[in-house]
Structure 1
């Protein structure tokens, strides 16, 4: 008698799927290398034993051990030349390990795999096509796309694979938050779009246990005629007595299986933490039960995450971006102290504000040296002194979790101007043993901040209100090929940067070259000006800081003051004023950088700029 096809079987009856492979092997004490998929080549008998154990427990849909057998992942381990062979052998192992009454389904996992969801679509298309073609040619009964956090990626995979086969494609998402994908789609929206792209089945797997998956399905509309699947974890991963483990017992799986079947699930298996004992209980629960026709919830019960917006503290002053569009804007960098005493910092900040600075920007542990939190000082400047802060946010010190938390705190304090920077590595600072995180590049972080502005968290969760960040990006013009550097800068602009702040410039021609190179980028550029404090300072910048060049004439002027510190600072201010005379006609945005906390120097330069602008306006009015 002919065995019906997998899709036909799923439409008419319940089928038990298999459970976890890697976590099960860990529980058995098996040592697994970095790339578990390689076991299908090096130790095929081990994979075969797991398939057999699940088959004997009652599973009749067996997944190939190919979740990560794509070119992107295998390249990391020098196995990129084995993509085809690995997928082909995995199908053969699965087929040879089970009876003829079982179906073998080709497993394809997310390539993005939990990382920041920014990828080259064409590269991903090629990799999905390569893996799916290998599995299909090896004779699978269908394709299972599993553990996708982002709808965008799984839609791409379905779009690529659908033209390759008429066999069933089942698309399973994973949720960080019950009822929603990481890229902020409700399951109702996601399942509908997957159906439109040609998926035969939709479902959920991994990360969450049976009850949370049940909660999600209860508030989701599943398109008519779609196969529904569920492969939950054995509960959430936790720690007990110093060991990681999954809590849900096989008996609990048997109990919740009935509830999932009542939701219309046709294919029910297990993911991380599950064992053949869990699958045996599932099989016992499903024995004798018939498939239940899915009944979707009423529209008023659908999870949509809709909430009323909470009022955001209103901004009393224009952003620096708005100011620079209508006139002159000055940003002054004044770094937080390395001490607990903030009295001099507050004095300097207040004096800079009175002189005409539009925003005081504070570094985020510049040069990887520990300083007071710029978030705390920013809140003090805003609330006590009425000064607009502009906070640097470095990629170095916080992982994804900490970075979002930090930004949410900045937002809660009513601070909305930030400068995203990479941050100097900790090895050059005063705590060289500290870790440098760098979960995100500056371009990626800019993009994620803009995602918060859309009301979407880093994980894709819809937030109750949208952030209002105005985001700056840093630029170093001290390169051999300025035009090439500006092309790279455009990636920050494309990611969503609202304005640019440059490293300090010291020569007039360099400033003019910078103006010509950046005048067409479409967002304001704040050119950096940092006064020299003496001859040694000039020598250091000229000879030890990559790319910075101090004109020979300036070096000679500073050399003449080498025996008099006060004269050195005065000459440094004069050099800066002469440079400003040139750039003020070209740049509406000026970024004054306070050297070594000598705020009186930047105070004087601020007053010089404001006076010079007043004179220019009077001259224009008299014509």
Structure 2
């Protein structure tokens, strides 16, 4: 439609009339025999007539803005199907197909959806990398002649920000920025409509809206919360209700008449752009078009702007005040902790008996692993709370990312903080196939870097959605590190990211070769935080072989293996393992700020023997 059409659409933003988007593309393709295990976007190249047939059906139904068949046509999602080298062609062709169907009278919106991966601060992909991925797609759509961009079905506010940045670096075409929400009207990250509406407004979206989600009712309730906080135009493209599984197929049951009734309600509260998402068809759009025509285009909606919310000034808790363990580290004291594996059952009495011995011996804290080696045991959080309550020694509970999503993690940690826990060691976690349950599935919503970012945000008084949580938490944040990693460059880079994310101390894997630790410490001098070295007293040659071959991230060097091999008999092997551990302890004392000593087989006396007689 050229420059003149672009100006026309910008003018259309200010016209006192309603515009109608089309409906679902994926639903229509599926109804025509295209299976969901196929790339719908690839059809722009291999079956363009089919795509155009659907566009034309929406034109006939009354749609005024056609959305290109490019929702998942970004490099990340296309790479999963081996199509990443065709990204420009797929997007360019998608725009051209829609343009041919739209003719000179209708508008074409370039469709951009999420990348399908976590970006920082929750994932390893940087914001700039995400922006470049969106920019690559947007550039091809721009070349294809789109009149505006629709950024839709985003849950992560940070991700849609990068999409907006990408488009703005290329052009000044209008941007429709649409979030998707859950039943409560918040994004899956917990971001409220009031917050994400303000942010999208600040970032330069021309139209702000809701699409997909769970149906028109929730969409309307969410839009009503958005109206008072922006003067930008609003859009609504809900699903045709919540999908029901009938004979193995997801069926959307909201009728065209039901959707049209809600379209009228959308417009009555101030929405200018209406349409449909999953489950909607040309019949739905036709019904909406008829309902829209019946409305008076001169109807004006009174929008009362509310002042920008004044977030309370949150003062983070100083590190030395977070816990006794944190204070000792801040004072430069050499700390000693002992790792205690949780029981397999629900009785902690045996663990408590051992922990009392540790307290009497002057140990500073107890470390509690979280599902070590992907095995099912008592949870680290409840055991840590029981230990602090019953014994009165501080606990450092390990918290791994496996088998938890972001919202679940946030709930766990808020509860743990309410129980009085303050020290946390954040780890990504071992996959279940390393444990005795190889058929168990794993959930890795984020890794340890993303979780560290989340905990730091809680320490600043906000949840993952950017919503205030009231009084900030005061977590003393620790992370794991492996000085003997096979890919040390990658390990150091991840350590740097952990420090940037908010890590305050680090605990290493068991150290059997001090020279390896020295080299690692030298390489992290530029981002050094207090390091606590792991010490493991070997009990036998078999134990050494097990550590070397079956414990992720642990390497026992040949000289140590040889010493254990020469130690004949159970008692001599134990003595030799103890001697190796004490030698390592003495050597690392000048290098690090503390040690974490493991108690093999739950026998705390092994750990106490390592530190016996050594001045700290």
Q: TM-score range by the shorter chain?
A: 0.7 to 0.9
Given that residues 359 and 388 in structure 1 are in contact (C-alpha distance below 8 angstroms), is that contact kept between their aligned partners in structure 2? yes
1:7 aligns with 2:10: yes
Please state whether the residue corresponding to 2:136 is helix, strand or coil: helix
What 5-or-longer segments of structure 2 have no aligned partner? none
Of 74, 78, 81, which aligns to 1:74?
A: 78
Find the counterpart in structure 2 of residue 495 from structure 1: 501
1:80 Cα deviation after fit? 2.2
Aligned-pair CA distance for 1:537: 3.1
Give, in whole Å, the separation in 2 of the partners of 1:230 and 1:219.
13
Matching residue of 1:91: 95
* 1:621 corresponding residue in structure 2: none
Partner Cα distance (2:149, 2:562) in 1: 73
**2:322, 2:422 within 8 Å by CA — same for their partners in 1?**
no
Alignment of 1:145-544 (within 5 A): 145-162=151-168, 164-176=170-182, 187=193, 190-192=196-198, 194-195=200-201, 197-220=203-226, 226-237=232-243, 239=245, 244-289=250-295, 290-297=297-304, 299=306, 318-326=323-331, 327-458=333-464, 462-479=468-485, 485-518=491-524, 520-538=526-544, 541=547
Is the CA contact 1:264–1:291 (under 8 Å) kept in the aligned structure 2? no
Query: Residues 178 and 213 of structure 1 are in contact (CA less than 8 Å); yes or no, is this contact kept in structure 2?
Result: no
Residues 558-597 of structure 1 mapped to structure 2, 5 A cutoff: 558=564, 561-563=567-569, 565-597=570-602
Q: Secondary structure of the equivalent of 1:93? A: helix
Once the two structures are TM-superposed, the CA of residue 205 in structure 1 deviates from its matched residue by 1.6
Question: 1:374/1:186 Cα in 2 relative to 1: closer, same or farther (>3 Å)?
Answer: closer
TM-score, length basis structure 1: 0.85
Cα deviation for residue 500 of structure 1 reads 0.6
Cα deviation per residue 1:108-166 (whole Å; 9 max; x = unaligned)? Answer: 22335677566334333433333333223322232222223333333333333235445
Cα distance change of structure 1 residues 198 and 508 upon mapping to structure 2, 3 Å threshold: closer
TM-score by length of 2: 0.86
Cα deviations across residues 199-250 of structure 1 (Å, max 9, x unaligned)? 4322222214333333333333578863322212223445568754434332
What does residue 59 of structure 1 align with? 63
CA shift, 1:358, in A, is 1.8
Matched-pair contact (CA < 8 Å) for 2:123–2:446? no
SS of aligned partner of 1:66: coil
What's 1:616 paired with? none
Residue pair 2:228, 2:303 contacting (<8 A) in 1 also: yes
Which structure has the bigger radius of gyration?
1
- Residue aligning to 1:38: 42
Q: Which residue of 1 aligns with 2:149?
A: 143
- Per the TM alignment, residue 538 of structure 1 is displaced from its structure 2 partner at its CA by 4.1
TM-superposed deviation, 1:357: 1.8
| Distance in 2 of aligned mates of 1:508 and 1:21 | 60
Q: Secondary structure at the match of 1:67?
A: coil
* Structure 2 counterpart of 1:620: none
- Cα distance in 1 between the residues matched to 2:250 and 2:548: 54
**Distance in 2 separating the partners of 1:61 and 1:482:** 52
Post-superposition Cα deviations, 1:306-344, rounded to whole Å, max 9, x if no partner, equal 8999xx9xx998342321221122121011123455332
Greater displacement, 446-455 / 321-330: 446-455
CA distance in 2, matches of 1:174, 1:598: 52
Aligned residues: 602
